[in-house]
């Protein structure tokens, strides 16, 4: 895959998570990384957001199980629409084929829920050039 490691600049992270409590916690943890975060609730909203904000989306944290459009479909659509930056899958299922399926759908990496501050920091560090820290 043609990957980029984006600079933080004026961009933001797109968080796609249907669960209110998880979304609250993860968006708060991302704010602590000093990166603006936009939180949407399903894959369709993620696609809409991307179409309206293309270059400002630096990376995506993507829940897999969501209503309307799930994380796999959303990732495939984002890739079809030209999004080449990192997409990180999030799932609570440690012992499933989620990791394989998410890679096949075009996701770059995998984060286990509940998401910890340290794991999230490491993902941002790994996949993004964040000069705001
Ligand atoms: Mg979910």
Map out the domains of the chain as residue ranges.
12-126
User: How many A from CA of 19 to the centre of ligand 1?
Assistant: 6
Q: What is the pLDDT of residues 18-47, one digit of tens each?
A: 999 999 999 999 998 888 999 999 999 999
User: How many A from CA of 131 to the centre of ligand 1?
Assistant: 31
**How does DSSP assign the chain, residue by residue?**
------B-TT-EEEEE---HHHHHHHHHHHHHTT--EEEESSHHHHHHHHHHHGGGEEEEEEESS-SSS-HHHHHHHHHHTT--S-EEEEES-TTSSHHHHHHHHT--EEEESSPPHHHHHHHHHHH-B-TT-
0.85 exceeded by pTM = yes
**CATH code reported for the domain at 12-126:** 3.40.50.2300
User: How many A from CA of 88 to the centre of ligand 1?
Assistant: 14
């Amino acid at each position: 895959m043609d990957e980029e490691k984006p600079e933080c600049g004026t961009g933001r992270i797109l968080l796609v998570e249907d669960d209110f409590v998880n979304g609250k916690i993860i968006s708060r943890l991302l704010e602590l990384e000093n990166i603006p975060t936009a939180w949407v609730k399903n894959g369709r909203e993620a696609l809409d957001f991307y179409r309206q904000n293309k270059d400002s989306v630096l990376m995506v944290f993507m829940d897999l199980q969501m209503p309307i459009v799930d994380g796999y479909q959303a990732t495939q659509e984002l890739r079809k629409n030209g999004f080449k930056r990192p997409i990180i899958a999030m799932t609570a299922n440690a012992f499933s084929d989620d990791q394989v399926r998410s890679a096949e759908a075009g996701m770059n990496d995998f984060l286990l829920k509940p998401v910890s501050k340290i794991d999230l920091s490491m993902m941002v560090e790994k996949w993004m050039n964040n000069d705001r820290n």
